[in-house]
């Protein structure tokens, strides 16, 4: 599952934090692993709470928070939730072009211990949203370096701030196989018109996609969450 949670602030309720709404959306899908974006940890605007920790506790999941930047007295970034234990978790800063006023971004990744014989790398990321697509391409090149340094099966999920057919998603497709081909739009939640959120995997021979769907939940965030059922093959 991948979900840009907008720091748990429903678009219809300015300055209101509804973490339980986010938890309910995730719980309804019963996912094994989740990539979250726009997560607040101890920020003033979110009431000084550790959103990643609380969401994980309420769902009974393991978690890792990847800090992208200091924000409003706390931290802001992405997170990984997992039904399985995690190890070797890390957050790698992603580059951007100087002078583009790009917000700092990271890719968080961890080894998911599915069983004694099965493990994989799961990553959560949120690429730059500014108008210069070169930032997103640079960030994907850094992700390619991370991917190249591991030999385990690799799943990445997140908000790539680019649509199918763009140079960014063409580069993503060169690195990973997406769980959807004709991907339904994920943004905005009301009358969605852009597909920005994706799940991808590599190598293709190690996975089988059973299903991919966009969850039509229009209250909790400004992005629709996506869920894919993927089987890890021997």
- pLDDT tens string 66-86: 999 999 999 999 999 999 999
Going by pLDDT thresholds of 50, 70 and 90, the confidence category of residue 30 is very high
- pLDDT score for 82: 98
**pLDDT, averaged across the chain:** 97
Q: Which two tokens stand for residue 129?
A: 């949203």
188 cis-preceded (ω within 30 degrees of 0): yes
Rounded to the nearest 10 degrees, what angle do helices 19-29 and 51-59 cross at? 40
Chain segment 158-211, per-residue pLDDT in tens = 999 999 999 999 999 999 999 999 999 999 999 999 999 999 999 999 999 999
- Return the CA Rg of the chain: 16
H helix count then E strand count, the chain = 4, 12
Tell me the pairing of strands 86-94 and 33-41: unpaired
**String of DSSP letters for 174-215:** HH-EES-SSPPP-BSSSS--B--EEEEEESGGGEEEEEEEE-
pLDDT at 193: 98
The pair of three-digit structure tokens given for residue 194, joined into one six-digit string: 């852009």
Q: What is the pTM of this model?
A: 0.97
- Rounded to 10 deg, the angle between the 133-148 and 167-175 helix axes is 10
Domains for the chain: give ranges and CATH numbers: 2-232 (3.60.10.10)
Average pLDDT of the residues in 230-234: 94
Task: Please report, for residues 6, 17, 23, 165, 200, the alpha-carbon distance to residue 13 in angstroms, rounded to integers and kept in the order given.
Answer: 12, 8, 17, 34, 32
pLDDT band at 130 (very low <50, low <70, confident <90, very high): confident
pLDDT given at position 183: 97
Residue among 158, 155, 171, 169 at smallest CA distance from 206: 155
Tokens 């219809």 belong to residue = 12
Alpha carbon of 66 to those of 53, 165, 179, 188, 210: distances in Å? 12, 29, 24, 25, 29
Q: Choose among 112, 230, 131, 213: nearest CA to 176.
A: 230
Report the percent of the chain where pLDDT is more than 90: 98
């Amino acid at each position: 599952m991948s979900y840009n949670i907008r720091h748990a602030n429903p678009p219809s309720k300015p300055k209101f934090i509804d973490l339980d709404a986010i938890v309910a959306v995730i719980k309804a899908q019963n996912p094994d692993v989740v990539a979250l974006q726009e997560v607040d940890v101890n920020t003033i605007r979110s009431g000084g709470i550790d959103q990643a920790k609380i969401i994980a506790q309420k769902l009974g999941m393991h978690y890792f928070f990847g800090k992208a930047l200091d924000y409003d007295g706390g931290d802001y970034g992405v997170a990984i939730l997992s039904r399985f234990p995690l190890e070797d978790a890390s957050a790698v800063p992603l580059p951007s072009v100087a002078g583009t006023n790009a917000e700092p971004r990271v890719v968080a990744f961890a080894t998911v211990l599915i069983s004694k014989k099965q493990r994989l790398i799961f990553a959560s990321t949120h690429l730059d949203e500014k108008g210069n697509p070169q930032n997103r391409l640079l960030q994907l090149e850094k992700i390619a370096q991370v991917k190249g340094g591991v030999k385990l099966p690799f799943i990445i999920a997140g908000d790539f701030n680019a649509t199918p057919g763009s140079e960014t998603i063409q580069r993503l497709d060169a690195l990973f196989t997406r769980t959807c081909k004709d991907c339904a739009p994920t943004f905005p939640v009301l009358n969605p018109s852009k597909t920005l959120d994706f799940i991808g995997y590599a190598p293709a021979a190690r996975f089988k996609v059973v299903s991919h769907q966009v969850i039509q939940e229009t209250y909790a965030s400004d992005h629709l969450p996506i869920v894919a059922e993927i089987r890890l093959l021997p």
